[in-house]
Amino acid sequence: MYKCSLERMTDKIKTFSKYGDAGHGGITRYSLSPEAIMARKEFEKRMKAIGAIIEVDDVANMYATLPGSDPTAKRIVMGSHCDSVKNGGNYDGILGVMSAMEVLETVYAEKIPHKHPLTAMIWTNEEGSLYPPAMMCSGIVCYDYLPEDIRGKFKYEDMLASKSILDSSKTFGMALDASGYKGDKKYRLSRDKYLYMFETHIEQGPILEDNNKEIGVVDCVLGMFNYRIKFYGQTTHAGTFPMPKRKDAFFAASKALCYLHEEIDKLGYPELVYTTGEVVCHPDVHTCVPDFFEFSFDSRHEKPEVLDKVLKIVKSLEDKNWCGCTCKVEKAWNRDTVYWDKKLVSYVKEAAEEAGVSHQYIHSGAGHDAQFCAYVIPTTMIFVQSKDGLSHCEPEYSKPEHCTDGATVMLNAVLKADKEST
Amino acid sequence: MYKCSLERMTDKIKTFSKYGDAGHGGITRYSLSPEAIMARKEFEKRMKAIGAIIEVDDVANMYATLPGSDPTAKRIVMGSHCDSVKNGGNYDGILGVMSAMEVLETVYAEKIPHKHPLTAMIWTNEEGSLYPPAMMCSGIVCYDYLPEDIRGKFKYEDMLASKSILDSSKTFGMALDASGYKGDKKYRLSRDKYLYMFETHIEQGPILEDNNKEIGVVDCVLGMFNYRIKFYGQTTHAGTFPMPKRKDAFFAASKALCYLHEEIDKLGYPELVYTTGEVVCHPDVHTCVPDFFEFSFDSRHEKPEVLDKVLKIVKSLEDKNWCGCTCKVEKAWNRDTVYWDKKLVSYVKEAAEEAGVSHQYIHSGAGHDAQFCAYVIPTTMIFVQSKDGLSHCEPEYSKPEHCTDGATVMLNAVLKADKEST
């Protein structure tokens, strides 16, 4: 039973929080931005200091590897991403990188024997905040193994051509060329060289905190679907058009949203979540009745049959008249539930038990690079308690003690995996 | 009883529709844009052709004047604006300019005797589509006479500094300097030189069409108030946060909007209109629960006591819990009902009767330059039937016959005003 260092972990949290500090306790650290480059250099410096070999693949995914006792053994890799959303926090993504670093630093400091090379890694552009889509570079690397409908989103050329949301004259490919971190395709994570993947991440929800558990033993990433729900009305002048003749697309959407909540809540699945986070209003002028309103609809649950019931309700919107407006429901994308490797999940659970870290099984509602990786090699995840369940915002917080215990659990799970094939 | 020319009016409609033609039957003609300059040159050319004297004031308002028989008499002015909204139609604003031109052209062609000089004018930047606010240059010219709370929006320096919504490095002042139409302040419409103002405009609503009337004898511009209704929740990740703990600001706003419709409709005022045309959603990402949602609330009615009842309902939103979100109701601005000059209104009605043009009394729900003018000199408006009540969009349409009859009514009303003080 080895333990990671609270002191070292706390120092890493403090250090990485500087790179992109947005002045209110959080960070804005877009992928390949100057701030993200600083974080990469810090990673490189600390990993080189313990003798790790640094490799960078052609989409800037970084791999720092401590050799094991068997030069022919495949690598066990841990990691996550170091980019953030706009005004994000100091834990989402980077905690998985820091935990992987902490595992390697502990292995080095304690001279822990291991057969397999151990790799700490940074995935490029997980958030997709500046260059969509999210999980871009795990999508590229795992491309050949992904289900066809997911894969379509991650064509290499399309990814290089992805435009900056701040400046459409800039592409991800240009940022990659300018970053100094465009390496060689031969270093990509692959079945040939890599055995297992572990990703530690903050929970991003309140379940562990509510249940007073430090660590989540993650068993799957929830299946989900994403639709766009569109309402078509007629724009007219705010002052001149009698109410009964109006076809107000925003009012139509509001009524439909209330209807969705009522009907879906009647299904009675406490673990079901659904979110309408993005809207479009046209012409979006205070003196005009909106002729178009659109909102996104994202729903997640482990069981496909539950998602099917939700989708049926969503699709039924098309059959109704919404204040004179018509409704179109369009699929954006969906994914099935991705179950983590059962053996690796059991290693995590055993490691938590042996380390005396309070824990429980949990699903991941959010998507992570690990879920694409799972199509390539056996993969699992570890969650660390999030204060108030908040993430993607500046108040995002996890206690350094919990972060350290998360690294300890990952370390010991990795060592179980390392021994297994001895 | 004089009649305007259908042929001449039809030719003007065709000609002006070219300046800013957006390819789908409508125009985009922002104030002082190259397209608007073409429209101004057309106005200038046609007015010079009948011997009118062209004057331009310091904010590019253009005045074309036919002298009358009494060199000491004040001018009677007619006009509207030649700018449009994005993808607007061929009638809003420009119809009032073309009608004023048509009146002068008829007076010239028919050699109609008149004592007062007759002026056709173009107000600059009525829509405020590129450089807000709307009614900018009537606001500037009428500044000294406006009620204090309205006036505050139209400070000369602020107007010059107004930034282009397309390019924040450009200001209205820069556009004015570059236009070649920055004239002299001494030419501004004033009480000293101007006696009465008439503005012809499309109705922008379906009332005249529904009642089968060509022309509206406008009696007032409706009073209105404009509020911003804001909802504050908590953003969380779409996949990780249980539904009962969410504070979804978009859902809160939707519930509140449905509540507003229910409660306001219960008041039972058929002439009351209210519009929620503009929204803000934050962070506006499909994987995040919105922590902020805002919509505009614009309500219009002739009677202040009716608007007070509506406002009471709107303000009551603050006292309720909206799905865990708080609500703030903030006043943007309001205005009282502006009644047109009773004598001028009666001239319009008599002129319509004598010309045998079908007509009815009507309120203006929309704001117009004339309403600021009304604080300076006696003013009134004439409405022309709008097909399907549509405006601020490409299908906007009024029959050339109705447009010509509108000009005929304005001509004969102006001649009544001209005679009155003989």
CATH number of the domain at B115, please. Answer: 3.40.630.10
- Burial of residue A186, with CB atoms counted within 10 A of its CB: 0-12 exposed, 13-18 middle, 19 or more buried: exposed
Widest distance between CA atoms in chain A: 81
User: What is the distance between the alpha carbons of residues B280 and A69, in angstroms, rounded to a whole number?
Assistant: 58
Residue B247 sits in the same domain as residue B393: no
Residue A185 sits in the same domain as residue A299: no
Q: Which residue has the higher pLDDT, B420 or A369?
A: A369
Here the tokens at position A354 are 């042996």
CB contact under 8 A, B237 and A281: no
CA distance B235 to chain A (A): 8
- Selecting from B237, B239, B365 the residue whose C-beta is nearest the C-beta of A239 gives B365
Residue B247 sits in the same domain as residue B198: no
Query: Which A residues 184-203 touch B at CB under 8 Å?
Result: 203
- The residue length of chain B stands at 422
B273 touches chain A (CB under 8 A): yes
Residue A59 sits in the same domain as residue A144: yes
Find, in chain B, the residue whose alpha carbon is nearest to that of A128: B285
Residue B137 and residue B123 in contact, taking contact as beta carbons nearer than 8 Å: yes
Instruction: Give the end of a domain, one of B316, B335, B354.
Output: B335
Which of A277-281, B235-239, B378-382, B407-411 has the lowest average pLDDT? B235-239
User: What is the distance between the alpha carbons of residues A130 and A122, in angstroms, rounded to a whole number?
Assistant: 17
Among B106, B201, B103, CA closest to B414 = B103
CB contact under 8 A, A237 and B290: no
Residue B35 sits in the same domain as residue B178: yes
Instruction: Give the end of a domain, one of B335, B362, B379.
Output: B335
Contacts of B286 (CB under 8 A, 6+ apart): A226, A275, A277, A278, A296, A298, A332, B238
* pLDDT tops 70 at residue B88: yes
**Three-state SS for B326?**
strand
CB contact under 8 A, B250 and A277: yes
CATH number of the domain at B285, please. Answer: 3.30.70.360
Among A147, A111, A99, CA closest to A381 = A99
Q: What is the pLDDT of residue B240?
A: 87
C-alpha to C-alpha distances, A113 to A74, A78, A199, A404, A417, nearest whole angstrom: 15, 17, 22, 21, 13
User: What is the distance between the alpha carbons of residues A91 and A393, in angstroms, rounded to a whole number?
Assistant: 10
Residue B39 sits in the same domain as residue B165: yes
Residue B385 and residue B201 in contact, taking contact as beta carbons nearer than 8 Å: no
Q: What is the pLDDT of residue A422?
A: 46
C-alpha to C-alpha distances, A85 to A126, A200, B63, B288, B377, nearest whole angstrom: 10, 18, 54, 11, 56
Find, in chain B, the residue whose alpha carbon is nearest to that of A300: B239
Interface ipTM: 0.86
User: What is the distance between the alpha carbons of residues A126 and A82, in angstroms, rounded to a whole number?
Assistant: 8
Residue A321 sits in the same domain as residue A398: no
For residue B333, name the pLDDT band (cuts at 50, 70, 90).
confident
Residue A16 sits in the same domain as residue A97: yes
Q: What is the pLDDT of residue B266?
A: 97
- Burial of residue A160, with CB atoms counted within 10 A of its CB: 0-12 exposed, 13-18 middle, 19 or more buried: middle
Cβ neighbours of B220 (radius 10 Å): 20
**Three-state SS for B124?**
coil
B296 touches chain A (CB under 8 A): yes
Here the tokens at position A170 are 């800039």
For residue B421, name the pLDDT band (cuts at 50, 70, 90).
low
Residue A72 sits in the same domain as residue A137: yes
User: What is the distance between the alpha carbons of residues A386 and A403, in angstroms, rounded to a whole number?
Assistant: 10
What is the average pLDDT value for chain B, to the nearest integer?
96
Q: Which of A275, A294, A307, A338 to mutate to test binding with chain B, by most B CBs within 10 Å of its CB?
A: A275
- Write the pLDDT tens digit of every residue in B148-197: 989 999 999 999 999 999 999 999 999 999 999 999 999 999 999 999 99
Question: What does the pLDDT average to over B377-401?
Answer: 95
Hunting for tokens 């010079």 — which residue is that?
B48
* pLDDT tops 50 at residue B422: no
CB contact under 8 A, A204 and B237: yes
Residue B145 sits in the same domain as residue B217: yes
Cβ neighbours of B85 in A, within 8 Å: 285
- The residue length of chain A stands at 422
- In this prediction the pTM is 0.85
Radius of gyration of chain B (CA): 23
User: What is the distance between the alpha carbons of residues A265 and B246, in angstroms, rounded to a whole number?
Assistant: 14
Here the tokens at position A215 are 């660590």
Q: Where are the alpha helices (DSSP H) in B114-248?
A: 136-141, 148-151, 156-160, 172-179, 207-210
User: What is the distance between the alpha carbons of residues B418 and B422, in angstroms, rounded to a whole number?
Assistant: 7
Question: What does the pLDDT average to over B299-312?
Answer: 96
Hunting for tokens 């009305």 — which residue is that?
A233
Q: Are strands B338-339 and B215-221 parallel, antiparallel or unpaired?
A: antiparallel
Radius of gyration of chain A (CA): 23
User: What is the distance between the alpha carbons of residues B279 and A282, in angstroms, rounded to a whole number?
Assistant: 9
Residue B244 sits in the same domain as residue B155: no
A173 in any annotated domain: yes
Number of H helices, E strands in chain B: 13, 14
Residue A137 sits in the same domain as residue A215: yes
B228 in any annotated domain: yes
User: What is the distance between the alpha carbons of residues A347 and A414, in angstroms, rounded to a whole number?
Assistant: 8
CB contact under 8 A, B251 and A270: no
A1 in any annotated domain: no
Instruction: Give the end of a domain, one of A298, A316, A335.
Output: A335
User: What is the distance between the alpha carbons of residues B290 and B87, in angstroms, rounded to a whole number?
Assistant: 31
A298 in any annotated domain: yes
For residue B1, name the pLDDT band (cuts at 50, 70, 90).
confident
Cβ neighbours of B92 in A, within 8 Å: none
B1 in any annotated domain: no
B71-91 as b/e: b if 16+ CB within 10 A: eebbbbbbbbbbbbbbbbbbb
Residue A170's identity, in one-letter code, is K
Query: Which B residues 74-103 touch A at CB under 8 Å?
Result: 85-86
Q: What is the pLDDT of residue A339?
A: 96
**Spans of chain A below 50 pLDDT:** 422
**Three-state SS for B74?**
coil
A384-403 as b/e: b if 16+ CB within 10 A: bbbbebbbbbbebbbebebb
- Burial of residue A242, with CB atoms counted within 10 A of its CB: 0-12 exposed, 13-18 middle, 19 or more buried: middle
**Three-state SS for B121?**
strand
- Write the pLDDT tens digit of every residue in A111-126: 999 999 999 999 999 9
- Selecting from B261, B279, B366 the residue whose C-beta is nearest the C-beta of A279 gives B279
Q: What is the 3-state secondary structure (H, E, C) of chain A?
A: CCCCCHHHHHHHHHHHHCCCECCCCCECCCCCCHHHHHHHHHHHHHHHHCCCEEEECCCCCEEEEECCCCCCCCEEEEEEECCCCCCECCCCCHHHHHHHHHHHHHHHHCCCCCCCCEEEEEECCCCCCCCCCCCHHHHHHCHHHCCHHHHHHHCHHHHHCCECCCCCCCEHHHHHHHHCCCCCHHHCCCCCCEEEEEEEEECCCCHHHHCCCCEEEEEEECEEEEEEEEEECECCECCCCCHHHCECHHHHHHHHHHHHHHHHHHHCCCCCEEECCCEEEECCCCCECCCEEEEEEEEEECCHHHHHHHHHHHHHHHHCCECCEEEEEEEEEEECCEECCHHHHHHHHHHHHHHCCCEEEEEECCCCHHHHHCCCCCEEEEEECCHHHCCCCCCCCCCHHHHHHHHHHHHHHHHHHHHHCC
Provide the residue range defining the domain that includes B318. 223-335
CB contact under 8 A, A298 and B287: yes
CA distance B6 to chain A (A): 27
B151 in any annotated domain: yes
Question: Phi and psi at residue A333, in whole multiples of 5°?
Answer: -170, 165
Contacts of A212 (CB under 8 A, 6+ apart): A358
- Write the pLDDT tens digit of every residue in B65-82: 999 999 999 999 999 999
Whether omega before B133 lies within 30 degrees of 0, making that bond cis, reads yes
A39 in any annotated domain: yes
B207 touches chain A (CB under 8 A): yes
Instruction: Give me the number of domains chain A comprises.
Output: 2
B170 touches chain A (CB under 8 A): no
Residue A382's identity, in one-letter code, is I
User: What is the distance between the alpha carbons of residues A287 and A236, in angstroms, rounded to a whole number?
Assistant: 9
C-alpha to C-alpha distances, B219 to A202, A348, B216, B340, B365, nearest whole angstrom: 65, 78, 9, 5, 11
Residue A203 and residue A218 in contact, taking contact as beta carbons nearer than 8 Å: no
User: What is the distance between the alpha carbons of residues A39 and A31, in angstroms, rounded to a whole number?
Assistant: 10
Among B125, B103, B127, CA closest to B181 = B125
B242 touches chain A (CB under 8 A): yes
B59 in any annotated domain: yes
CB contact under 8 A, A278 and B298: no
